[in-house]
Chains A and B, each alone.
Chain A
Amino acid sequence: MIKVENLVKAFGPKLAVNDVSFTVERGEVLGFLGPNGAGKSTTMRMITGFIPPTSGRITVGGHDIVEDPLPAKRLFGYLPENAPGYADMTVHGFLNFAAELRGLQGSARKQAISRVVELCFLENVLYQTIDTLSKGYKHRTCLAQSLVHDPDFLIMDEPTDGLDPNQKHEVRNLLKHMGEKKAIIFSTHILEEVEAACTRVIIIDRGRIVANGTPQELKARSPEGRLEDVFRAITLPDTVKH
């Protein structure tokens, strides 16, 4: 279980994340929805221990990410925004490095790598360096990295960003399928994605949670039953001055 309690992150006087609390259990796929700059990435960076929270508490599988980071970090896989990768490494070298840092040795490491290579369709580019990859392949390489140790928890920042419709479809199916056993948090600003893959949705706007429920519950809030109407009604576009 990932548990977030009263999470706050201040950058100077600005509150990027303001009193956010939620939990994700195994078997749940939580869609983190919100306009650009709402605090989605900041929240995920705090959950994964990349940046420290200003206040609040985060536990991953019972381990506090600030107090006891290593056991917590072993439990999750993380796909950061823009799917970074070491430009000069081959896909295989990169996955091998990730697996090594995850403590996988010998044949277990080989098996883990071939499993994610198959899962993310990377056979064709296995010995290409990452800087020569198309965006879709680069994205899937980073996705493969987050799955290599078969983690209980997955945290993904815009996992379908920059993918073509076929690839988007594949990733959504993958999330849905893995969500049966794992706890997954993923962020997006694509509403159809939420309906396709999530068991629960949190809408975040200007650092605050403005809605939390199943996609069906949220849809029921609008007269036409459309998630988009709900989203537009409760979040402010960033073109509006506030």
Chain B
Amino acid sequence: MNSWANIKAIVKRELGGYFTSPIAYIFLVIFLLLTGFFTFTVGSFFERGEASLVSFFTWHPWLYLFLVPAVGMRLWSEERRLGTIELLLTMPVTTWEAIVGKFLASWLFLAIALALTFPVVVTVNWLGSPDNGVIFAGYLGSLFLAGSYLAVSCMTSAMTRNQVISFIVSVLICLFLILAGYEPVTGLLSRVASPRVVEVIAAFSVMTHFEGFQRGVLDTRDVVFFASAIGFALFATGVIIRNHRAG
């Protein structure tokens, strides 16, 4: 019970931190402009002539690649730079509560950004009659995708007091998570490795697991994949913070 109160206090502080600085608004504007641009221009939403949001969701892994680390990079590195980590972790709060609180706050922020893309849903429903179940699954998958990138950023921001380093390392890791299951790359891999090996590598990719959601399939394995990716990265964050404190 008490633990939840602590997490709530931390979520409130972090989320407030986003909105008191201009970062949140800049992020939201950039995110919405880019999703619009990719969906309608690059993804040729209208030319497709189909009532679906395929051209919207396809770009999310790539958009998040830069935008999510930008949201997550400050989570712990800022605490380390300001020295407030010493304050936070000597309060009657466990390291877990702090990690989960910070993660949830940023995830909630990303969820708000994602929710603000509702005009595309309205548009597609106005123009035709899409399968809204598929769209809902797409949104759910996108949220999981953002969550796993965010957990990675959480981990990299705990490694350093420098936000730029945190950002770059986290982009690199997320890029790997994309490329391991990106078709041009798996195609290249299958020339040198057996299909079994390629399959195992691709199983680590967010692309493989996001695909199901885009098609409207809610597979437990995909949900478990994202949940365990988040769990693992947050666990690693805990280990990194513990090691940092132990000196």
- B92's partner among A80, A102, A129 (CB-CB below 8 A) is A102
- On chain A, the residues within 8 Å of B90 by CB distance are 48-50, 73, 78, 80
Interface size on A, residues (CB 8 A): 32
- Chain B stretch 103-137: residues in CB contact (< 8 A) with chain A: none
- Chain B stretch 5-40: residues in CB contact (< 8 A) with chain A: 5-6, 9-10, 12-13, 16-17, 20-21
Q: How far is the CA of A97 from the CA of B91 in the complex (A)?
A: 11
Q: What secondary structure prevails in chain B residues at the interface with A?
A: helix
Name the residue on B nearest A84 (C-beta): B83
Interface size on B, residues (CB 8 A): 25
Q: How far is the CA of A34 from the CA of B226 in the complex (A)?
A: 52
| B92 near A88: Cβ-Cβ < 8 Å | no
- B91's partner among A51, A82, A84, A101 (CB-CB below 8 A) is A101
| A51 near B84: Cβ-Cβ < 8 Å | no
Tell me if A3 is interfacial: C-beta within 8 Å of chain B.
Answer: no
Name the residue on A nearest B97 (C-beta): A101
- On chain B, the residues within 8 Å of A86 by CB distance are 13, 17, 82, 84
Tell me if B224 is interfacial: C-beta within 8 Å of chain A.
Answer: no
Tell me if A100 is interfacial: C-beta within 8 Å of chain B.
Answer: yes
| A97 near B9: Cβ-Cβ < 8 Å | yes
Known: A48-B90, A49-B90, A70-B94. A84 touches B245 (CB 8 A): no
Per-residue CB contact flags for chain B residues 81-97 toward chain A (1 = under 8 Å, else 0) read 01110110111111000
| A80 near B86: Cβ-Cβ < 8 Å | yes
| B86 near A84: Cβ-Cβ < 8 Å | yes
- On chain B, the residues within 8 Å of A89 by CB distance are 13, 16-17, 20
For the complex with contacts A85-B82, A93-B13, A100-B12, 18 further pairs of A-B residues with Cβ separation under 8 Å are A49-B90, A50-B90, A52-B246, A73-B91, A73-B92, A73-B93, A78-B90, A81-B83, A84-B82, A86-B13, A86-B82, A88-B21, A89-B17, A97-B9, A97-B12, A101-B6, A102-B91, A103-B5
- Measured CB to CB, the residues of A under 8 A from B are 9, 11, 45, 48-52, 69-70, 73-74, 78, 80-82, 84-89, 93, 97-98, 100-103, 129, 142, 145
